[in-house]
Structure 1
Amino acid sequence: MNTTKHKKLYQIPTQLLLLLLPLVASGITGCSSFFSKQTAQTSFYAFEGVSTLQSAQVKSQTQQAIQPTNTLPSLIVTHPQAAAGFDTRRMMYSRSEYKLEYFARNELVDTPSHMLQPLMVSAVEQTKSYSAVIPKLPAAKTDLRLESEILSLLQDFKTQPSKVRFIFRATVIDNATGKIIALREFDEQVNATSDDPVGGVKATNQAVKQVLDKLGLFCIETAITWKRAHASSPADSADR
């Protein structure tokens, strides 16, 4: 009789344990899932490649462009286009020829095109070679129009260290005639400080800055060319 009671006393905790095991297991799984979600959060990055043109060549060209006897053209900067696959917030990389991939948990805060346009406006404004530099607006009328396209922007892991390659095309069009008066393609390659998305972002910002610097020079040259072509003759000046 006593033996049976003892057996029952020991059987009760065992039964409870069997009932609790699934709950404990699900709790552990839930915690694991929670922490894995915390560690798998997506990181976001932005372009900060602000142009800072300071060279003697730039200053000389700027002085030539803003001579008092010259009329400064106005410029509208349209939204950059992007080649297939590059009009996305996802960050692209390559590990083998002809194969492009995206980082799983690293993205840009906006598409390259949207982030680049205000930087382009700022870069051209700094040259002081235009009477006005504005983003595209429905009612805006300007002398010239800057159109552009992102041809490539990716981190290349086929080399060590990895590098970012940014290929960008700029086209300036005379709005009065609809003709292209200047076109240039920029191809910048910058080594990454580390072979990961963070190193790629740092290299991307440097590549963007270098392109913006060269875009500024390109726009100065274009303004000078346009003004020479539209220089007033003595008769025209007298009529004014």
Structure 2
Amino acid sequence: MKKSLLISCLIVASAVISGCSQLVPKATELPSFYILNGTKLEDKAIENDAIASKDAQAAKKSAQATLVVNLSTAAAGFDSARMVYSRVPYKLEYFAHNQWIDTPARMLTPLILNTLKAKSLFSAVTLTPSTANSHYSLDTQIIRLQQEFFSPQSSERFTLRVTLIDNIKHQVVFVRELEAVVTAKTDNPYGGVVAANEAVQILLEELAILCNKTLINYQ
């Protein structure tokens, strides 16, 4: 009988311990936050320097042109701090525990401003709202910024629509969609972040080149 009572007590104690363990909350995974600040690309920088000095006379003439950079925007689905990935075309998904520290559009604006200040032929580059009357204004919109798992090795796709407007003539100078696809070194969110920063820098350099070519040739 004592043995039976002991077994019963052990069963009850086991049930109580099991029940208590289920009441203890599971540790939640803390989110990881990432930034976009680009990376240095020597080849593109050299190409842009060559374009900037290609036609000294035209460069001197265009040096009087000023530019105001408007705040970047983003297409639907890419206008939050959530990090986007895609396993099949046309379907967007979001990483649960990984996100940008701010929206990509807000992080991109100062990068565009600083790149054009450093590498363009504009005599002055300012950020809207600006009290100065600028000859040109630049609009940018993020069309896509997503990690794609379409093949054995994932890649980051960054598509940026850029519009340059002549404020004097009140006309659009150009509308272009620039795109960079960079293979991720690792198939995880951090691999996508590294690839995204490289893709951003590629397009920043391409944007500076495009603006300089336009200033040299635009009438």
Q: Aligned runs of 1:1-240 on 2, under 5 Å?
A: 18=12, 22=16, 24-25=17-18, 27-29=20-22, 31=24, 33-35=25-27, 37=28, 40-50=29-39, 54-55=45-46, 57-63=47-53, 64=55, 67-68=59-60, 71-137=63-129, 139-226=131-218, 229=219
| Aligned-partner SS, 2:87 | strand
| Aligned-partner SS, 1:130 | coil
What's the offset of the Cα at 1:159? 1.2
What's the offset of the Cα at 1:140? 3.7
What's the offset of the Cα at 1:19? 8.0
* Between structures 1 and 2, the one with greater helix share: 1
What's the offset of the Cα at 1:145? 0.1
Runs of 4+ in 1 over 6 A off after TM superposition: 14-17
Q: State the one-letter code of the partner of 1:46.
A: I
Q: State the one-letter code of the partner of 1:218.
A: L
What's the offset of the Cα at 1:222? 2.3
8 Å contact from structure 1 (residues 50, 212) kept in 2: no
What is the root-mean-square deviation of aligned Cα atoms in Å? 2.7
What's the offset of the Cα at 1:68? 4.5
Pick closer, same or farther for the CA change 1:84–1:67 going to 2, 3 Å: closer
Q: Considering only CA atoms, is the larger Rg found in Structure 1 or Structure 2?
A: 1
What is the CA–CA distance in structure 2 between the aligned matches of 1:142 and 1:223, rounded to whole Å? Answer: 14
What is the CA–CA distance in structure 1 between the aligned matches of 2:62 and 2:81, rounded to whole Å? Answer: 42
List runs of 5+ in structure 2 lacking aligned partners: none
Q: TM-score, normalised by structure 2?
A: 0.85
Pick closer, same or farther for the CA change 1:216–1:68 going to 2, 3 Å: closer
| Aligned-partner SS, 2:185 | coil
Pick closer, same or farther for the CA change 1:27–1:121 going to 2, 3 Å: same
List runs of 5+ in structure 1 lacking aligned partners: 1-6, 230-240
Q: Show CA shifts across 1:113-135 (max 9, x none).
A: 00000000111111141111111
| Aligned-partner SS, 1:93 | strand
What is the CA–CA distance in structure 2 between the aligned matches of 1:91 and 1:208, rounded to whole Å? Answer: 15
What is the CA–CA distance in structure 2 between the aligned matches of 1:85 and 1:110, rounded to whole Å? Answer: 15
Q: State the one-letter code of the partner of 1:192.
A: A
Q: Show CA shifts across 1:176-197 (max 9, x none).
A: 2220112221111000111110
Q: How many residues align?
A: 214
Query: Which is further off, 151-160 or 122-131?
Result: 122-131
Share of identical aligned residues, percent?
33
What is the CA–CA distance in structure 2 between the aligned matches of 1:70 and 1:95, rounded to whole Å? Answer: 46
Q: Show CA shifts across 1:171-216 (max 9, x none).
A: 1101122201122211110001111101111110110010011011
What is the CA–CA distance in structure 1 between the aligned matches of 2:15 and 2:198, rounded to whole Å? Answer: 56
Q: Partner of 1:235 in structure 2?
A: none
Pick closer, same or farther for the CA change 1:218–1:46 going to 2, 3 Å: same
Pick closer, same or farther for the CA change 1:216–1:159 going to 2, 3 Å: same
